[in-house]
């Protein structure tokens, strides 16, 4: 069972992913994330890079739909989303694979200058891809940067990710990864 805290965090995550605010996570939301990423990195729509980016996200959506869209209406509503995560959190290997691959993708997509850490501007770019505003990104970044050195390392992000997805400590900084919940 998901705890109340986990439900609140994962419901926030749902609202972040439902970019077009139609109450379901669906292919349109994934398309919008791809488009925002394309614009951020100024990728040509006709390029191989774009095709690979889009394929990666759309296959992720296909997998999510396969696991999560219980009523087969082509979208994942909040209750389907919570069931999906509940199931994922209960399976150690699948959880590790899923969250590890998410976090490593975040790193490779947003460590724009390739210095191996996420800075505040890179974090704001990450938020921008979900149509979240820069001021929120700045305040969340400060909260997440546990050792206060102004950057988030791969290890820090990994810890933040586990606190966000699986953790149940109301005091954990990582709870706020996607903003207020
Ligand atoms: Ca949607
Ligand atoms: Ca559904
Ligand atoms: Ca960087």
Task: Please tell me whether residues 78 and 122 are part of one structural domain.
Answer: no
The Cα-based distances of 171 to 71, 72, 154 in angstroms read 36, 37, 21
Is this prediction's pTM over 0.75?
yes
pLDDT over 90 (residue 8): yes
pLDDT in tens, 94-103: 899 888 888 8
Question: What distance in angstroms lies between residue 28's CA and the mean position of ligand 2's atoms?
Answer: 14
Determine how β-strand 152-153 pairs with β-strand 117-118: antiparallel
DSSP 76: B
Ligand nearest to the CA of 15: 1
Residue 101 is assigned to a structural domain of this protein: no
Question: What distance in angstroms lies between residue 78's CA and the mean position of ligand 2's atoms?
Answer: 9
Rounded to the nearest 10°, the torsion over CA 168, 170, 176, 178 is 40
Domain residues for the domain of 142 are 114-167
Q: Would you state the pLDDT for residue 105?
A: 85
User: Which parts of the chain are beta strand (E)?
Assistant: 117-118, 152-153
CB atoms within 10 A of CB 100: 13
Task: Please tell me whether residues 118 and 61 are part of one structural domain.
Answer: no
| Residue percentage of the chain with pLDDT more than 90 | 90
Residue 109: pLDDT band by 50, 70, 90 thresholds?
confident
Residue 180 is assigned to a structural domain of this protein: no
Average of per-residue pLDDT values in the chain:
95
Q: Would you state the pLDDT for residue 100?
A: 87
Question: What distance in angstroms lies between residue 67's CA and the mean position of ligand 3's atoms?
Answer: 33
Q: What is the CATH number of the domain that holds 140?
A: 1.10.238.10
Residue 105 is assigned to a structural domain of this protein: no
CB atoms within 10 A of CB 170: 10
pLDDT in tens, 121-170: 999 999 999 999 999 999 999 999 988 999 999 999 999 999 999 999 99
Task: Please tell me whether residues 83 and 118 are part of one structural domain.
Answer: no
pLDDT in tens, 44-71: 999 999 999 999 999 999 999 999 999 9
| 17-20 own/partner pairs: CB under 8 Å, 24+ apart | 17/130, 19/130, 19/131
């Amino acid at each position: 069972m998901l705890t109340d805290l986990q439900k609140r965090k994962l419901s926030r995550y749902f609202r972040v992913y439902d970019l077009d605010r139609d109450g379901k996570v669906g292919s349109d939301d994934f398309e919008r994330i791809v488009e925002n990423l394309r614009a951020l990195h100024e990728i040509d729509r006709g390029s191989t890079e774009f095709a690979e980016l889009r394929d990666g996200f759309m296959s992720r959506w296909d997998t999510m739909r396969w696991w999560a869209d219980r009523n087969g209406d082509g979208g994942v509503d909040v209750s389907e989303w919570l069931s999906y995560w509940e199931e994922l959190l209960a399976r150690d290997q699948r959880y590790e694979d899923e969250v590890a691959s998410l976090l490593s993708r975040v790193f490779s997509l947003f460590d724009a200058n390739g210095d191996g850490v996420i800075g505040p501007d890179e974090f704001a770019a990450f938020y921008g891809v979900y149509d979240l505003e820069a001021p929120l990104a700045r305040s969340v970044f400060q909260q997440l940067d546990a050792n206060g050195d102004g950057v988030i390392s791969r290890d820090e992000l990994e810890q933040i990710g586990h606190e966000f997805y699986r953790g149940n400590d109301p005091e954990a900084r990582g709870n706020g990864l996607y903003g207020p919940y």
